[in-house]
Amino acid sequence: MLQTLWDSRVNCIAVILFAVGFATLLLHRNLFKKILGLNIMDTASCLLLTSLGYIEGRTAPIIVDGVTDVQRYGNPLPAGLVLTGIVVSVSVTAVMLALTVRLYERYHTLDLDEIYMLARQEEGEK
């Protein structure tokens, strides 16, 4: 088993990073850290996707000298998907950051538990 894992070590690193990012996104109470965790999670799944498209000893899928031999190039599809994934990740990050700024303006803290308590307190006073 360890041998198999060692052979596909890029995949292993990718899933470990995914789990780290996932745990940070779900459990860290600081909003900024959550956003970093989210980014790590997204890039990790992108890394897994890229490594699934990699073929040992072949070059990037850019046709050189008109040679269209399959044996020479890697898989182009995962790269295309990952490009989309990166765009999605940066868009989501921007929105989350904008939300963070607004929340900080309002409650002066980044701690989600604390913000939640403050919001409840505020509502109770109304």
Number of residues that bind other proteins (CB under 8 A): 115
Range 50-79, binding other proteins (CB under 8 A): 50-56, 58-63, 66, 68-70, 73-79
- CB contact at 8 A, 52 and 15: no
Nearest approach in angstroms of CB 113 to other proteins is: 5
Query: Per-residue contact track with other proteins, 92 to 111, x per CB under 8 A?
Result: xxxxxxxxxxxxxxxxxxxx
User: Whole-number minimum distance, CB 3 to other proteins, in Å?
Assistant: 10
* Least CB distance to other proteins at residue 65 (A): 10
Buried-exposed string 73-105: b where 16+ CB fall within 10 A, e elsewhere:
bbeeebbeebeebeeebeeeeeeeeeebeebee
Q: Restricting to residues 14-33, which ones interact with other proteins according to CB under 8 A?
A: 15-33
| Terminal Cα distance for the chain, rounded | 60
Cα 64 versus chain centre, distance:
32
